[in-house]
Amino acid sequence: MSKLIIPEGYQQLLDPIQTEQGIKQIKDFFQANLSTALRLRRVTAPLFVMRGLGINDDLNGIERPVSFPIKDMNDKVAEVVHSLAKWKRMMLAEYNIQPGYGLYTDMNAIRGDEELDNLHSLYVDQWDWEKTIVRENRNVTFLKKTVRSIYAAIRRTEYLVCETYPQIKPFLPEEIHFIHSEELLQRYPTLTPKQREDAICKEYGAVFIIGIGGKLSNGKAHDLRAPDYDDWTTDNEEGYKGLNGDIMIWYPVLERGFELSSMGIRVDKEALLHQLELTGKEDRKELYFHKRLLADDMPLSIGGGIGQSRLCMVLLHKAHIGEIQASIWPDDMRKECAKRGMPLI
């Protein structure tokens, strides 16, 4: 409850039926736009994967996956996915998807270790996408081009929502601003990473923070990233390290920075070995996913995840993600939200 934000004077702009209709409209329209903009084909994705193959996303490395034994497979253990960051890259190889094209899927996950608040739920739904690239695309210029395409699809979806529901007013800026996490540190040296995000989002409205996972000049990372999907150590042409980042906006309903997507150019063989060494995870070289990558059995790629409930929450001007999706919430949070005009599904 300590992290729950209650916006003063908050009122829902849509009733429950309109909200459900808006959710479907946003999801249908945005994924069609994303598919067209990035040339992605939809594929079917797993809810769980086998433990011990190195396929599941370990996020920051401390979250415990939900797991269960499979009776008909001698009690071998499966894990509910955290995301499909690695699985998607394997599918690029399995489907032999050529450079310039990719795939996307509806990813559903359970993250039992999440701290529940306005933005974080036990249930995570996102569009996970991955695209085959050539080595010449492994640069920050290509990364920015991809970010702009995604942001343009978000703004087109916002326009549709505002046309459908005139009581909802657009607020996203026309352009997205780019800044490296080291530049952000130098700009706000006395602030925490979260405070720096809030400050830069409030200033520009929409920001892509580049280079998340590697240590900055203060000896700390802006945020943690697993060592085996995003490339956060390769030098880029702007003189910094990192070919990944987060799409963030300033969300006036909650008056804070709001992450919509985490994405990046993926590790090649050299970056994988380097990042495994930096994080003390060199034992992962013996896992199935990592062996395939080190054997050049998977293509170079760029990819990421875009929160479905989060995007709907923002475009429908909701104060809590529980107004968009059905999940489990503490009783005191559910009661407080209902009292403040933000009933949770």
115 is annotated as an active-site residue? no
Q: Is 282 a catalytic residue?
A: no
Can you tell me the distance from the alpha carbon of 226 to that of 98, in angstroms, rounded to the nearest whole number? 26
Active-site residue (options: 106, 183, 238, 259): 259
Known catalytic residue at 57: yes
**Which H or E element spans position 147?**
helix 140-164
Torsion over CA of 131, 134, 138 and 141, rounded to 10 degrees? Answer: -80
Alpha-carbon gap, residue 146 to 138, rounded angstroms: 12
Helices (H) and strands (E) in the chain, counts: 9, 11
Q: How far is CA 187 from the centre of its chain?
A: 25
- Pairing relationship of beta strands 177-180 and 206-210 according to DSSP bridges: parallel
Distance separating alpha carbons of residues 335 and 341, to the nearest angstrom: 10
**Which position among 197, 228, 230, 246 bears the catalytic label?**
246
List the catalytic residue out of 25, 35, 261, 262. Answer: 262
Beta strands 40-42 and 102-110 are parallel
Set 111, 138, 225, 266: catalytic member: 111
Told to judge if 126 belongs to the known catalytic residues of this protein, a careful annotator would answer: yes
Closest alpha carbon to 155 in 64, 84, 260, 227:
260
Could you confirm whether 331 is annotated as catalytic?
Answer: no
Half-sphere exposure of 65 (CA within 13 A, CB side): 24
**Is 336 one of the annotated active-site residues of the chain?**
no
Extract the tokens encoding 182: 């080291």
Catalogue the active-site residues.
57, 111, 126, 246, 259, 262
